[in-house]
Amino acid sequence: MSLPDELAIPLAREWSRLAPLITDAHWVQTTESTMNLVQAMAGGSREGVLIVADEQIAGRGRRGRVWSSPPGAGLYFSVLLRPPVSPLSQTNPSVVGLLTLAAGTGVTDGVVASTGLQTQLKWPNDVLVGRSKLAGILAEGVAVGTSEQAVVLGVGVNVSAAAYPSEIAMRATSLETELGRAVDRGEVLAQTLVGIAHWYRALLEARYDEVLRAWREAAPSAVGTTVEWTTPQGRRTGVTAGIDDSGALLVRTASGIERLIAGEVTWTL
């Protein structure tokens, strides 16, 4: 289905700035998760297929969490990407390794461009206002045959307070809650995609240092914040010391600098 005018008109205005991130846009009224819909298209579609939903009944976040997605209360979308496959390296920057960070930077740019609201990033993928979560990013790899690789990039932005259940109200916020006024969902969608497209192009052109610099500027808590995380040996604690060039979080501990790639980090801001 094609997008409703509310979203299609602002998107059409910015269309020339969206390649190669977006080449094709679709709309669904309701679905389990836009991640599933885009994943199902990974075998036969080219890069840049965008699916936006008005409602998700099984929206998901990182680590199997639920992403609450009631009708009309947020932006819920996923995009099919076919980033180049770089030689496996844990420490070098790569398009896939920095994709979540680049997308987060794009969301912060898009939110400020469309609404004036300043947000911060929290490693690896949270978009915050103060300590409350406004938006989240999810990147899932899809194996297509043996040699091809695709990534489904999903973004959820809380537009009104109805986007999150009251039990997480302390940890979540929305554009309308922060701004105290109605916002134009189409403008937020268009500018968020412009922002992500800008930083995706930077990755494809191997301008990794620009992406890392922009992410670091938008993520003050990546330096000097006390964090805890779990290892097979038990709970560890340390103080954030920035990210390295591959996007891993560095944490200063009593026994030296640790490098965190995945896993759950608790921020004790």
Which parts of this chain interact with ligand BTN (CB under 6 A)?
33-35, 56, 59-62, 65, 67, 76-78, 125-126, 136-138, 154-156
Peptide bond before residue 124 is cis, with ω within 30 degrees of 0: yes
119/241 with CB nearer ligand BTN: 119
111/241 with CB nearer ligand BTN: 111
Q: Are 60 and 35 in contact (CB under 8 A)?
A: yes
77/215 with CB nearer ligand BTN: 77
Intra-chain end-to-end CA distance of the chain, in Å: 44
Measured between alpha carbons, how far is 239 from 264 in angstroms, rounded to an integer? Answer: 15
Task: Report the residue number whose CB is nearest to ligand BTN.
Answer: 136
The CB-of-154 to ligand BTN minimum distance in angstroms stands at 3
The CB-of-155 to ligand BTN minimum distance in angstroms stands at 6
> How many other β-carbons are positioned within 10 Å of the β-carbon of residue 3?
18
Count the residues in the chain.
Answer: 269
66/182 with CB nearer ligand BTN: 66
The CB-of-127 to ligand BTN minimum distance in angstroms stands at 8
Measured between alpha carbons, how far is 82 from 220 in angstroms, rounded to an integer? Answer: 31
The CB-of-231 to ligand BTN minimum distance in angstroms stands at 22
> How many other β-carbons are positioned within 10 Å of the β-carbon of residue 42?
20
222/241 with CB nearer ligand BTN: 222
Q: Are 121 and 211 in contact (CB under 8 A)?
A: no
The CB-of-104 to ligand BTN minimum distance in angstroms stands at 10
